[in-house]
Structure 1
Amino acid sequence: MFCRRNPTSMLAIALLALLLGSRAVADPISIHIDGLTKELETAVRENLELQQYVERDTHPTELRRLTERGDEEIRRALEPYGYYHAEVTSSLEQSNGGLRAEYRVRLGERVIVRNSRVTVTGPGGEQPAVRRAIESFAPAVGAPLDHGLYEDSKARITAALQTRGYFDEQLERHRVAVTRATHSATIDLAWQSGDRYRIGSVRFSDAQFPDSFLQRYAPWDPNALYDIEELLQLQQRLVDADYFSTVSVQPALEERADGHVPVNVLLIPAKRTIYSASAFVSTDAGPGVRLGIERRWLNRRGHKIGGQAEYSTRVEGYSAYYRIPRPAKQSRLYSFAGGYRDEQTDSSRSRLARLSAIESIDDWHGYARTLGLQYLNGDFTIADEQRSSGLLYAEANLGRKRANDLVFPSDGLSVSYTARLAAEPLLSDTSLVQLRADAKWIGSLSERARLILRTSVGALQAANFNALPPELRFFAGGDRSIRGFDYQQIGERNATGGVIGGRYLAVVSGEIEYYFLEKWGVAMFVDAGDAFSSRVNANVGTGLGLRWRSPVGIVRVDVGVPVATDLTDKGWRIHLMIGPDL
């Protein structure tokens, strides 16, 4: 008697037994590599096939094969870093209920670049950006061969050519020859730049304005040579115009022809009317709120209109404006505004209406420039003396800012120069000549410390000083002046001892910040100066502060105390400020 077995069933049983057997002998594996830096070990593991099996159940036979193959994989992974003579030994052993693959690496002598020839022929080779990319090519002669640096340097030269309009550039020769016997390498690279393209037509899409208006934002002359910086400047101008939620400026490289490349500009309109509301706090103005409304564009010429209301414990103000942009290679903005402001300080109270007409230029010989006329009219009280005044004056301002980081600079400078001029017969109760300069510098002392220096100086001449409202006199003291003193506490005094402001201003400040955590720091400061008309007095305040890099800007809390002054009030004061450094 016999049983006939189904061949299919027998095959299934055999496969099942094989699978079960495989799982029964599968062991986890760990990989250890000795003799490498952290950077090299990371690169090696990325190229080691065995690394992919650390989390898998794999038969020991397969793991042994992969371990042995890893010797060659490690040697190949080290070659891009200049190690062409690395020696690798490996072993696979039982360890703590699993398998341990161990590689011991001896790097050997590193290959050094002995010769390097990098050239760009054609007109593109004379471009300063291309020359800089060639001169900074790495690895240089005498340096270890590093294929990563080599590829990065090669890409920088190509990018320097293309961003200057050499879109037909060709890499005609690229060779790295390694001589293992002498541990040396030779680099040989040669580009042909081709001719430089010019900027062609600019095509705007999805915009709410006619092309004739938008074309005026282009900063280049017609038929200008292509430069990516020109396109970036166009993009920034359109962003700054505040008409669009999205601005994308791209060269249409696939459409380049006859030495010209078109430019496509995608514009998506922003919300036309915006409302704003914000709270603020400072020890100069006290806590308060601001409300605003703006119509981003009234018509197809981009005119804007808006208004703002401000209310705090010391200030109540209302204003409205109408703005007319004049985009061009040197863009202008014309602003017409009117408002009313009621402000009270420890030394004065003013209720003034203001009208203004101002022309602004963003880039005038490297400065932001404003020219305009201002008219002030209203009542004010200084040192218990009540007066009223009207003043029409011309005003000019030059300002410049630079910073390596707009939010938290470690290298930055801000300067501002202001001049005002009024003539008594022209709607003014007194003639006036006033000059003022402000500067602030920020520098790095270490990775965690900053030095901040600040100064303000000013002078004025007026036929009738008493006719000047507080806004046009000089005072000192407060958060952004001399800490340790109240806002506008320092100034020339009248016969009864009341502060009336001065004809001259001189303030200096020095501050050191140290950040003991990424967002938290402490500060130590010394401020000094005076607002005076005849004799200068040195008013000095010093103190300590706390800094917090918050999501809405740097929060500064300072405790200042007068250490040199002829004032009788010498108590300590808290100063609170929120906002950017420059």
Structure 2
Amino acid sequence: MSPAASIHPRRLPLLRTGLVALVFAAASLPALAAHVRVQLDGLDDELSAAALGALELQQYSKREVSRAQVQRLYRRAERQIQRALEPYGYYNVGVAGELANEGEDYRAVFTVKPGDPVKITAVDIHIDGETEGLRAVDMARAAFSPRQGQRLDHAEYERSKAAIHAALFSVGYLDAELATHRVEVQRAANTATIKLAWKVGQRYRFADTGFEGSQFPDEFMQRYIPWEVGDYYDQTQLLALQQRLFDANYFAISQVQPDLDKASAGSVPIAVTLAPAKRTVYTGGVFVGTDTGAGIRGGIERRWVNRRGHKMKFETILAQRLKTLSTLYQVPLPGKNNHSLNFGITYRDENTKTSESKTLRLAANDSQVWHGWTRTLGLQFLTGDFKVAEQKGSTTLLYPEIVLARKRADDFNFPRKGWSLTMAARAGQKGLLSDTSFAQITADAKWIRGIGDDSRFIARGAFGYTRVDDFDKLPPELRFFAGGDRSIRGYAFQTVGPRRQFADNPVPKVIGGKQLLVGSAEYEYYFTPKWGAAAFVDAGDAFSGKDFDLKIGAGLGMRWRSPVGLVRVDLGTPIGDPYASGIELHIIIGPDL
């Protein structure tokens, strides 16, 4: 061996050490970094999104990746796509792929053939116990999806399964257990069967209800409970209790839930956690309305005066055409129907284009929920002076009154499905602290339905009828007028009604009528979540006898879902009326119902 080729034995360890260091140094050098772009063909948007979400390769569209990583992830992609489509019912998915260079980056193209979806051939749902006839359970079972003949959809299956379990719990089967839950898929035949079975156990009943954190004694709180001890547990009743506590306006926090840890012997106690609301509330603000003009309002509310839950409220309005001062004292009564006695005094000074009035009203009534309606039975005493057109008058009336009101909505702040109906009847007898005999009925209704995602249709109607011995003794607030923000837009407030000609004025003046019939149709379109436009047509008349003279107002408006409520700004104009013309501005702020 030549000297140049010889290696002394003592130098071998040093050589090995150097080679190892060289390998580690090479490994520590930065690898060539790149990105990968994934393209999926053959899938609709929903399936494509699911497949992309499951692909690890997709995570490197904006992250650096080495060639070795790309190749490893690419080999996994086919199975990842197939698994991603199984929850949608596709169990025989074909995937053809290609990985190519695009400069320093990579492009992975997958052509996917989802094939035929798996169809449900049988659905077997078994629930032991006596659950038939329980509406919540029957509805959940009837709504189960996927049904026989439909495509297998894992998400729908899980939702339907959870809905049945929740329905069982809601009607008192608190120990319900899903004993069998199986989906058997036959890949070759593209079919599947569903088997579900519940062991429900005993049905629980209501035990005692405990209140924690209330400022009132338990005896007072019992009036809000809509069930009796021993009734079957029903979750809708818990929601009803929570709504009643919210409506009472005594509490900032109200939580109602079953105390499952203390359930025993087929009974479950209910735990109610409360926190008092602010006891005294001061309100005030500036407002503008085309019927009342600009003004300010203020109020003081004592949410509870004593431990018996009595309430007191003072409110005043000072506007260009309306001034009021009112007080209300409310006495809640025992019972489950929000039963209360209410006593009020109101002074009202109103000046419109057709009338002026200064009246004092004393009111006492009994209010409660009756078959889903709010029923108010009361006695009204009204006295004061007024002027309608050129005619001055004064009156005193004592009359009983009944009012029935009800409203429903999917969202009271902005309903897309809702309605309201208020009906009233009142009558007075001359000689019983009344200057004339009269009888009157009224009805006001509103109906709202959403159209698509961005539109609403709103219908509104008002009806009134009066029989009276001496019409001139009726104050303006008991006569019927039309026109204004909530009547026939295009006409000023209370400017539509029967007219009377006076000697010193050749132009007939509106004096109000004995009957009222008004209808409205409105279409709203929202071009953003907060802003929209409206088109409307209002029609009707306030009249006496058979002298109905149809008045029509139509126009356009803007809608704004503001933080303080829906703001409506409308421009309306009368159509074909010799007594009215031009454009009338109408502004309303507040809820639809």
Q: TM-score, normalised by structure 2?
A: 0.92
Aligned to 2:574: 562
CA shift for structure 1 position 285: 0.8
Name the SS for the 1:157 alignment partner: helix
Report the residue type matching 1:399 in the other structure: A
Confirm or deny: 8 A CA contact 1:273 1:294 kept in the other structure. Answer: yes
CA shift for structure 1 position 518: 4.1
CA shift for structure 1 position 539: 4.1
Out of 296, 320, 325, the residue aligned to residue 332 of structure 2 is: 325
Work out the CA distance in 2 between the residues paired with 1:52 and 1:562.
63
Confirm or deny: 8 A CA contact 1:538 1:565 kept in the other structure. Answer: no
CA shift for structure 1 position 556: 2.4
Q: 1:328 to 1:85 in 2, by over 3 A?
A: same
1:154-553 equivalences in 2 (<5 Å): 154-361=161-368, 363-444=369-450, 446-496=452-502, 497-551=508-562, 552-553=564-565
Q: 1:62 to 1:445 in 2, by over 3 A?
A: closer
Name the SS for the 1:440 alignment partner: strand
CA shift for structure 1 position 205: 1.2
CA shift for structure 1 position 27: 2.4
Q: 1:320 to 1:58 in 2, by over 3 A?
A: same
Q: 1:304 to 1:16 in 2, by over 3 A?
A: farther
Aligned to 2:5: none
Confirm or deny: 8 A CA contact 2:491 2:553 kept in the other structure. Answer: no
Work out the CA distance in 1 between the residues paired with 2:307 and 2:22.
82
Out of 19, 28, 48, the residue aligned to residue 28 of structure 2 is: 19
Work out the CA distance in 1 between the residues paired with 2:207 and 2:20.
73
Confirm or deny: 8 A CA contact 1:119 1:134 kept in the other structure. Answer: no
Work out the CA distance in 2 between the residues paired with 1:42 and 1:319.
61
Report the residue type matching 2:233 in the other structure: Y
Q: 1:570 to 1:179 in 2, by over 3 A?
A: closer
Aligned to 1:97: 104
CA shift for structure 1 position 90: 2.9
Work out the CA distance in 2 between the residues paired with 1:524 and 1:43.
42
CA shift for structure 1 position 104: 2.5
Matched, 1:572 2:579: no
Work out the CA distance in 1 between the residues paired with 2:15 and 2:334.
89
Work out the CA distance in 1 between the residues paired with 2:160 and 2:74.
35
CA shift for structure 1 position 139: 1.3
Report the residue type matching 1:102 in the other structure: V
CA shift for structure 1 position 53: 4.3
CA shift for structure 1 position 198: 0.7
Report the residue type matching 2:592 in the other structure: D
Name the SS for the 1:182 alignment partner: coil
Q: 1:247 to 1:419 in 2, by over 3 A?
A: same
CA shift for structure 1 position 535: 4.5
CA shift for structure 1 position 529: 2.5
CA shift for structure 1 position 56: 4.2
Name the SS for the 1:152 alignment partner: helix
- Unmatched segments (≥5 aa) in structure 1: none
Q: 1:299 to 1:500 in 2, by over 3 A?
A: same
Name the SS for the 1:199 alignment partner: strand
Aligned to 2:76: 69
Aligned to 1:78: 85
Work out the CA distance in 2 between the residues paired with 1:547 and 1:316.
29
CA shift for structure 1 position 580: 2.2
Count of aligned pairs: 578
Q: 1:31 to 1:311 in 2, by over 3 A?
A: same
Shifted more, 339-348 versus 85-94: the winner is: 85-94
Matched, 1:122 2:98: no
CA RMSD of aligned residues (A): 2.3
CA shift for structure 1 position 396: 0.8
Confirm or deny: 8 A CA contact 1:204 1:265 kept in the other structure. Answer: yes
Confirm or deny: 8 A CA contact 1:124 1:195 kept in the other structure. Answer: no
Work out the CA distance in 2 between the residues paired with 1:326 and 1:289.
34
Work out the CA distance in 1 between the residues paired with 2:362 and 2:237.
37
Shifted more, 217-226 versus 491-500: the winner is: 491-500
Work out the CA distance in 2 between the residues paired with 1:261 and 1:208.
25
Work out the CA distance in 1 between the residues paired with 2:172 and 2:20.
68
Work out the CA distance in 2 between the residues paired with 1:78 and 1:530.
63
CA shift for structure 1 position 47: 2.8
Work out the CA distance in 2 between the residues paired with 1:354 and 1:498.
27
Percent same amino acid at aligned positions?
Answer: 46
Confirm or deny: 8 A CA contact 2:557 2:570 kept in the other structure. Answer: yes
1:72-107 Cα distance to aligned partner (Å, 9 max, x none): 222222222222211223333221311223322222
CA shift for structure 1 position 476: 1.6
Q: 1:254 to 1:9 in 2, by over 3 A?
A: farther
CA shift for structure 1 position 197: 0.5
Work out the CA distance in 2 between the residues paired with 1:17 and 1:421.
102
CA shift for structure 1 position 423: 1.8
Work out the CA distance in 1 between the residues paired with 2:228 and 2:83.
53
CA shift for structure 1 position 564: 3.4
Q: 1:73 to 1:516 in 2, by over 3 A?
A: closer
Confirm or deny: 8 A CA contact 1:526 1:540 kept in the other structure. Answer: no
Shifted more, 418-427 versus 57-66: the winner is: 57-66
Shifted more, 138-147 versus 483-492: the winner is: 483-492
Q: 1:451 to 1:147 in 2, by over 3 A?
A: closer
CA shift for structure 1 position 532: 2.5
- Unmatched segments (≥5 aa) in structure 2: 1-7, 503-507
Work out the CA distance in 1 between the residues paired with 2:133 and 2:382.
57
Confirm or deny: 8 A CA contact 1:123 1:195 kept in the other structure. Answer: no
CA shift for structure 1 position 12: 6.3
Confirm or deny: 8 A CA contact 1:522 1:544 kept in the other structure. Answer: no
Confirm or deny: 8 A CA contact 1:124 1:193 kept in the other structure. Answer: no
1:517-567 Cα distance to aligned partner (Å, 9 max, x none): 444433333333222234514242323222213223332222222223453
1:120-140 Cα distance to aligned partner (Å, 9 max, x none): 121134422222222222111
Work out the CA distance in 2 between the residues paired with 1:188 and 1:487.
66
Work out the CA distance in 2 between the residues paired with 1:152 and 1:212.
41
Work out the CA distance in 1 between the residues paired with 2:540 and 2:110.
69
Work out the CA distance in 1 between the residues paired with 2:401 and 2:407.
20
Report the residue type matching 2:158 in the other structure: E
Confirm or deny: 8 A CA contact 2:535 2:557 kept in the other structure. Answer: no
Q: 1:7 to 1:228 in 2, by over 3 A?
A: farther
Work out the CA distance in 1 between the residues paired with 2:42 and 2:366.
68
Work out the CA distance in 1 between the residues paired with 2:154 and 2:274.
41
Work out the CA distance in 2 between the residues paired with 1:88 and 1:443.
46
Aligned to 2:505: none
Work out the CA distance in 2 between the residues paired with 1:370 and 1:141.
52
Report the residue type matching 1:440 in the other structure: K
CA shift for structure 1 position 370: 1.0
Report the residue type matching 1:553 in the other structure: G
Confirm or deny: 8 A CA contact 1:539 1:562 kept in the other structure. Answer: no
Confirm or deny: 8 A CA contact 1:322 1:335 kept in the other structure. Answer: yes
Report the residue type matching 1:571 in the other structure: G
Name the SS for the 2:141 alignment partner: helix
1:329-373 Cα distance to aligned partner (Å, 9 max, x none): 222121111121110011111111111112111x31232211111
